[in-house]
Structure 1
Amino acid sequence: MKSITKLLTVVSIIAVSSSAGLTQPPNTLSPAERREGWQLLFDGATTHGWRGAYATQFPARGWVVKDGELRGELHEGAESGDAGDIVTVKKYRHFEFAFDWKLGPGGNSGVKYFIEERQPKPEKGSQAGYEYQLIDDANYIYNGKKLPADLKTASIYDVVAAQKPDVSVGTWHRSRIVVNKNRIEHWLDGVKVLDVDRASDAFRRGVTESKFSTYPDFDKIPEGHILLQDHGHSVAFRNLKIKTLP
């Protein structure tokens, strides 16, 4: 009888967990992810693997680890004008990068890749790179107007627009960037919202018509750091995971 009771208790716990939609703890890798070659870029407790852009150390203020989140507690409203951007210590060429993020109302941030840290360091603003835009699509005002499509969330900022409705803020979203040779994909909440080839006329036209038109070989950057942007608005990240591709 005791064995039957114990078995029923275990079954009940599994059922409750399933109905509640519980998943693995944040900032961890499942056995399947480990087998597939995924690595954590944030362990939920330290800033190991990150440093300030154009710096050797992690910023002393502004970026903090709280409650298993890597938070940018930023308030100045300027691009790289508060604590500054942070970048991965390592560089990446072909990869799949997954991350969860959350912004508040009117928020603006971004995840950049192919960051080269070219000299000289920009006098103001962030280092140029491909940016997975993170922003309050519906409410952010840009130069007195509503945002154009190529400046909205999940777009390659100012180059290629993501195909999606406006996203909500104040809640967690899950994103993914896939760079497989010249093919780039952006995913948002399980849906592929951008798919482009860097060698295509569409991508090159987007670069030519963007603010990156004078950046040498912007469409051919071979590798670089991943950057979390200080745009002067608070932002939170968790579940930062990467898998290198052949």
Structure 2
Amino acid sequence: MFRLQTLLTILMVFGVIYGNAQTPNTLTASEKKSGWILLFDGKTTNGWRGAYSLEFPKQGWTVINGELRGELTNGAESGDAGDIVTVGKYDDFELIFEWKLGKGGNSGVKYFIEERQPKPEKGSQVGYEYQLIDDADYIYNGKPLPQDLKTASIYDVVAAKKPNAKIGVWHTSKIVVKKNHIEHWLDGIKVLDVDRNSNSFKQGVRDSKFKDYQGFTTISEGHILLQDHGHSVAFKNIKLKEL
């Protein structure tokens, strides 16, 4: 009897976990009612274009098996296929996405992208970056990464408080922006919480590569950007809710 009850319990749990699993790159009825939208439908690149372009890149970024992949090899920042951005702009929002990197990988999800003119001669458009990188093995200027350049940090401005993120596995990240309040989450844990009016944030900007970017601490809206950093990266289940 005990074995039978145990087996039935296992089957019930299996059914709950797997039988009702949400299909990737879709929204539930509850999510739709709450105002969530998909930024990637799992089949096309609709809603995205190249940064500083009217068209989507013809190479480098592709959709395979429900994943938006950057199959990038150059190694330089925005030096291969180029970054891609959402067609729409957003101010206050909650953004959720899943991502995966390989060994030595480097990418990022940026927000508040303005596409100011003139276009940068090289590198990415400046914005707030949710860093994605191989925390343990990426070598930066011949040294291990400092904490504010590791995964889930606001790149070069505010360090995320977390252990090294694993590579080769899928992670779930969340960005919450409401006025001047910013949160970064990684795999269900809040790892960064900062106000742009705080002294710590302003000091972080002054100490960063963005110190000469006029108005960096007060950007109010912009596109969302997926970064080409010359390393393969994959995204799925990208969804956003305006707040």
Deviations along 1:187-232, whole A, 9 cap, x unmatched?
Answer: 0000000000011111000000000000001000010000000000
- Percent identity reads 69
Letter in 1 for 2:157: V
Distance 1:178 1:18 in 2: 29
Counterparts of 2:53 and 2:87, CA distance in 1: 10
| Aligned residue number for residue 139 of structure 1 | 137
Aligned residue number for residue 8 of structure 1: none
Shift of the 23–124 alpha-carbon distance from structure 1 to 2, 3 Å rule, reads same
Q: 1:202: which partner in 2?
A: 200
Partner of 2:70: 72
Alignment of 1:163 with 2:161, yes or no, is yes
1:88 aligns with 2:89: no
TM-score (norm 1): 0.93
Q: Secondary structure at the match of 1:175?
A: strand
Unaligned ranges ≥5, structure 1: 1-10
4+ residue segments displaced more than 4 Å: 11-15, 19-22
Deviation at 1:31, TM superposition (A): 1.2
SS at match of 1:16: helix
Matched letter for residue 204 of structure 2: G
C-alpha distance in structure 2 between counterparts of 1:191 and 1:90, whole Å:
28
3-state SS of 1:177 partner? strand
1:189-228 correspondence to structure 2 within 5 Å = 189-228=187-226
- Determine the C-alpha separation between the residues in 2 that align with 1:144 and 1:52: 31
Separation (CA, whole Å) in 2 of partners of 1:21 and 1:166: 33
Matches within 5 A, 1:53-132: 53-132=51-130
Aligned-partner Cα distance in 2 for 1:39–1:19 = 24
Shift of 1:19: 5.2
1:82-116 deviation per Cα after TM superposition (whole angstroms, max 9, x unaligned): 00000000000000000000000000000000000
- The structure-2 alpha-carbon separation of the partners of 1:26 and 1:211, relative to structure 1 and needing over 3 Å to count, comes to same
Structure 1: distance between partners of 2:206 and 2:19 = 45
Aligned residue type for 2:188: G
Q: 1:19 to 1:70 in 2, by over 3 A?
A: closer
Q: 1:33 to 1:145 in 2, by over 3 A?
A: same
1:40 paired to 2:21: no
What residue number does 2:184 align with? 186
Q: What's the CA shift for 1:32?
A: 1.3
Whole-Å separation in 2 of the counterparts to 1:201 and 1:105: 36
Report the 3-state secondary structure (helix = DSSP H, G, I; strand = E; otherwise coil) of the residue aligned with 2:23: coil
RMSD: 1.6
Q: Which residue of 2 aligns with 1:3?
A: none
**Residue 24 (structure 1) aligns with:** 22
2: CA distance, partners of 1:134 / 1:146: 15
Change over 3 Å in CA distance of 1:22–1:133 after alignment to 2: farther
What is the CA-CA distance between 1:23 and the residue it aligns to? 2.0
How far has the Cα of 1:18 moved from its partner?
A: 2.7
Q: What stretches of structure 2 of length at least 5 have no aligned partner?
A: 1-8
Structure 1 equivalent of residue 4 of structure 2: none
Q: 2:228 aligns with which of 227, 230, 235?
A: 230
Give the AA of the match of 2:131.
Answer: Q
Structure 2 CA distance for partners of 1:21 and 1:138, relative to 1, 3 Å:
farther
